Chains A and B, each alone.
Chain A
Amino acid sequence: QVQLVESGGGVVQPGRSLRLSCAASGFTFNNYGMHWVRQAPGKGLEWVAVISYDGIYKYYTDSVRGRFTISRDNSKNTLYLQMNSLRAEDTAVYYCAKDDSSGYYYVSLDYWGQGTPVTVSS
């Protein structure tokens, strides 16, 4: 069965960096686009970034573009999110999610991980 396990969250000061990981299993990782979605405390869901199955296409929401970098290692079945210049408003639970297609054309998230919490505070 599909499993997505996030790690790397924690408490970090504003302006610092953090790298999240998502270990995937139960499906052919290099066939599918992958996403990061976040949820601030008590708030709704916000899509953050996508990477295509081959790692070529990447797209970000405006609020993180230039600060966050999504990447993947298909040899390790792992998705990453490098978060730099963190702000208080980045505080959220970060979910990785699998697309049911390539990640190039449209978004359709069929499986989600359990999430990893990130708190940005001094």
Chain B
Amino acid sequence: DVVMTQSPLSLPVTLGQPASISCRSSQSLVYSDGNTYLNWFHQRPGQSPRRLIYKVSNRDSGVPDRFSGSGSGTDFTLKISRVEAEDVGLYYCMQGTHWPSTFGQGTKVEIK
């Protein structure tokens, strides 16, 4: 199975400051169609996950533009340009290129 490794696992941030989460895969996530199926999800406490980013860098409808995704191959990043209080919670990367689909361990974002 493809192993997804996130860092850091805990990320204390100051309101209004930027934040960055790294996600690395044990194999290239480029699919045979040329796309890279790397998604980012946000899960608030007690809620179900919500997709923020699909195919590395595409924001889902309604996702604030302070969220951005980048990367290629095996190395990916989620950035929040200015953290707001509603951004706390767990962030997961997920690869959908190889079966079975696998998630990173999760990164907990909290306000300092």
Instruction: Contact check, B103 vs A112: say whether CB atoms are below 8 A apart.
Output: no
Instruction: Contact check, B96 vs A108: say whether CB atoms are below 8 A apart.
Output: yes
Instruction: Contact check, A44 vs B106: say whether CB atoms are below 8 A apart.
Output: yes
User: Is B8 among interface residues, defined by CB-CB distance under 8 A?
Assistant: no
Q: Which residue of B lies closest to A6 (CB)?
A: B48
When distances are taken between beta carbons in the complex, the residues of chain A under 8 Å from B43 are 45
Residues from 30 to 47 in B contacting A, C-beta threshold 8 Å: 31, 33, 35, 37, 39, 41, 43, 47
* Closest Cβ–Cβ distance, residue B32 to chain A (whole Å): 8
User: Is A68 among interface residues, defined by CB-CB distance under 8 A?
Assistant: no
- A112-B54 Cα distance, complex, nearest whole Å: 14
When distances are taken between beta carbons in the complex, the residues of chain B under 8 Å from A106 are 31, 35, 37, 96-97
B interface residue count range (under 10 / 10 to 19 / 20 to 34 / 35 or more):
20 to 34
When distances are taken between beta carbons in the complex, the residues of chain B under 8 Å from A50 are 101
When distances are taken between beta carbons in the complex, the residues of chain B under 8 Å from A60 are 100
Instruction: Contact check, A44 vs B48: say whether CB atoms are below 8 A apart.
Output: no
With beta carbons under 8 angstroms apart, the residue of B33, B37, B55, B102 that contacts A47 is B102
Question: How many A residues face the partner with a CB closer than 8 A?
Answer: 23
User: Is A113 among interface residues, defined by CB-CB distance under 8 A?
Assistant: yes
Q: Which residue of A lies closest to B106 (CB)?
A: A44
- A45-B50 Cα distance, complex, nearest whole Å: 12
- A61-B2 Cα distance, complex, nearest whole Å: 12
Q: Which residue of A lies closest to B60 (CB)?
A: A110
Contact residues of B with A, CB < 8 Å? 31, 33, 35, 37, 39, 41, 43, 47-51, 54-55, 60, 90, 92, 94, 96-97, 99-106
- In the assembled complex, 24 residue pairs joining A and B whose CB atoms fall closer than 8 Å, in A order, are A35-B101, A44-B105, A45-B103, A47-B103, A50-B101, A60-B100, A95-B48, A95-B49, A105-B31, A105-B33, A106-B31, A106-B35, A106-B37, A106-B96, A106-B97, A107-B96, A108-B39, A108-B54, A108-B96, A110-B54, A110-B60, A112-B50, A114-B47, A114-B48
